[in-house]
Structure 1
Amino acid sequence: MKLISWNVNGLRAVLKKDFLATFNQLEADWFCLQETKMQAGQVELDLPGYYQYFNYAEKKGYSGTAIFTKHEPLQVTYGINQPEHDHEGRVITLEYPNFYVITCYTPNSQGELKRLPYRLTWEAAFKDYVNQLATQKAVILCGDLNVAHEAIDLKNDRTNHHSAGFSDEERQAFSTLLASGFTDSFRHFYPDQADSYSWWSYRFHARDNNAGWRIDYFITSNNLQSRLIDAKIHNDIFGSDHCPIELDTQDLFA
């Protein structure tokens, strides 16, 4: 089975850049989006064979997530059941008989880490939410988690030590999440692979020079490790400042 995650940096924008061709080419069982930047009714997508779920931010043109899937879920949850965190459209959870699929767009700590206090409050609440689900069924979490976990996960680690996405606090929060029973699928398969990134700044020809960050992830419950087949980063696909990432698994319904 195939899962795709992509921060599209505006669904309406990427639709003008061959999104549908990419969508059809990848032919995923679950296609998860972050930063859709839209409201209900602004886009009508014809995706035969797929169920469509959107979570919109209250603020127009901001944040937002979506999941397109071939597999109708038992239940769909929007947000993490905490009102202070659920007005930016950042999380969708699909429940299946023996697992959950979650797409997440983690808040950015912003310049000079001015939103770091909120980010850390979010991290604690989101970890509790995911861990609560994991007590019931296996979890597959994907999305733009807005953190480069280790120095290998970005090009210029020394100059970005205190930048949003590579602060000690954000990295520790990610470590804490993994330690609670989860696997970074890409590092599971490629523990030492450097220069593999999923986001590049639009400035300074960063993508041309592959001066990027790996901040998009598939995180899975540890008990799914034996069912994982591969993890990929599609850095040859354009249309956003992020590229799609992929997780391949055995049949999750078996």
Structure 2
Amino acid sequence: MRIISLNANGIRSAERKGFFTWMQQQNADVICLQETKAQINQLSAEPFFPQNYHCFYHDAEKKGYSGVALYCKTQPDKVISGIGKADFDAEGRFIEAQFGKLSVISLYLPSGSSGEERQAFKFNFLDYFAILLQQRGQDDRRYIICGDWNIAHKAIDLKNWRGNQKNSGFLPEERAWMDSLFAEDQWIDAFRVINQEGDQYTWWSNRGQAWAKNVGWRIDYQIVSAALKDKIISTSIYKDQRFSDHAPLIVDYDL
């Protein structure tokens, strides 16, 4: 089972840059998109409903903002939009497809980089989401949670870690939250099961020559239930083409 995750930074922009042509060549079973920045009534063109896929969108109420999507080769048994937290769900940040006992989720966790108010919103969400993950980790389902988590977990996960310790995305509190998430092996960072190397990034600032110099952050993850750890076959970050300021994260599972 191949799953691809990408923060598109605008699905219409990604389409113009060739994302859907590339996507159709990947033979992925599920594609998880974040930051679609569109309402579904703005996506009437054929590329946004790719052939051979069942397409599901969860839009933000605010136009041109946030939004997540799932494209599934197999029709899901059930699709759930949101987590029951009104202020978060209004921003279109969570959509889940259920296939038997397997759930595949597209998640776009808030950024706090624009100021104290949004950082407070992010911390509030992390508190809420930690409880939800604890509950989900104890049920009888298996989860693959894909998306932009907007946190680089460890120093290996961003180039200039020393200079970013006071910046959103690498704050001590955020990294401690990730530590707690992985502490009891209830949840697994699928990429690091396969690849423990440095300089493996999924996002690059548009400032300066961050992309050219590979001055990036690894903030996009596929985080899976512990029971799926031995099912991870391979993983890669696709950088031959640029569809966004993020790169697609590809993971193959024996499912």
Worse-matched range after superposition: 58-67 or 116-125? 116-125
Residue of structure 1 equivalent to 2:189: 184
Counterpart residue number, 2:122: 119
For 2:22 and 2:72, locate their aligned partners in 1 and report how far apart those are by CA, in whole Å. Answer: 15
Q: Is the partner of 2:174 in helix, strand or coil? A: helix
For the Cα contact (< 8 Å) 2:49–2:55, is it kept in 1? no
Tell me if 1:159 matches 2:163.
yes
Where do 5+ consecutive residues of structure 2 fail to align? none
Paired residues for 1:96-135 under 5 Å: 96-134=99-137, 135=139
CA distance in 1, matches of 2:132, 2:99: 17
2:199 counterpart of 1:195:
yes
> Secondary structure at the residue paired with 2:165?
coil
Partner of 1:92: 95
- For 1:153 and 1:28, locate their aligned partners in 2 and report how far apart those are by CA, in whole Å: 26
Aligned-pair CA distance for 1:96 = 1.7
- Write the deviation string for residues 24-53 of structure 1: whole angstroms up to 9, x where unpaired: 122210001000000121113241210000
TM-score by structure 2 length? 0.94
Q: Does 1:51 align with 2:54?
A: yes
Q: Secondary structure at the match of 1:28?
A: coil
Report matched runs for 1:60-75 at 5 Å: 60-75=63-78
For 2:97 and 2:49, the matched residues in 1 are separated by: 21
Give the letter aligned to residue 86 of structure 1: D
1:93 is aligned with what amino acid? E
SS in 2 for 1:159: helix
Q: CA deviation at 1:184?
A: 0.5
Any idea what SS the aligned residue of 1:171 has? helix
Give the Cα–Cα distance (whole angstroms) in 2 for the partners of residues 114 and 81 of structure 1: 21
**Cα distance between partner residues in 1 of 2:244 and 2:131:** 31
TM normalised by structure 1 equals: 0.95
8 A Cα contact 1:7 1:35, kept in partner: yes
- Residues 59-116 of structure 1 deviation map (CA, whole Å, 9 limit, x = unaligned): 1100000000101111111111121321000000111212111110000012455422
Amino acid at match of 1:70: K
Distance across 2 between alignment mates of 1:175 and 1:136: 23
1:138 aligns with one of 127, 139, 142: 142
Q: Report matched runs for 1:226-241 at 5 Å.
A: 226-241=230-245
Shift in Å, 1:187: 1.1
Q: What's the CA shift for 1:175?
A: 1.6
Please give the alpha-carbon distance, in whole angstroms, between the structure 2 residues aligned to 1:173 and 1:116: 14
Structure 1 residue identity aligned to 2:221: Y
Counterpart CA distance in 1 for 2:180 and 2:198 is 23
> Whole-Å Cα distance in 1 between the matches of residues 127 and 91 of structure 2?
17
Q: Do 1:142 and 1:219's aligned partners in 2 also have CA atoms closer than 8 Å?
A: yes
| Count of aligned positions | 250
Which of the residues 70, 82, 85 maps onto 1:82?
85
SS at match of 1:62: coil
Q: Does the 8 Å contact 1:6/1:243 carry over to 2?
A: yes
| Residue 14 in structure 1 maps to residue 14 in structure 2 | yes
**Sequence identity percentage:** 39
Shift of 1:132: 2.5
Report the more deviating stretch, 20-29 or 53-62. 20-29
**How far apart are the structure 1 equivalents of 2:49 and 2:91?**
25
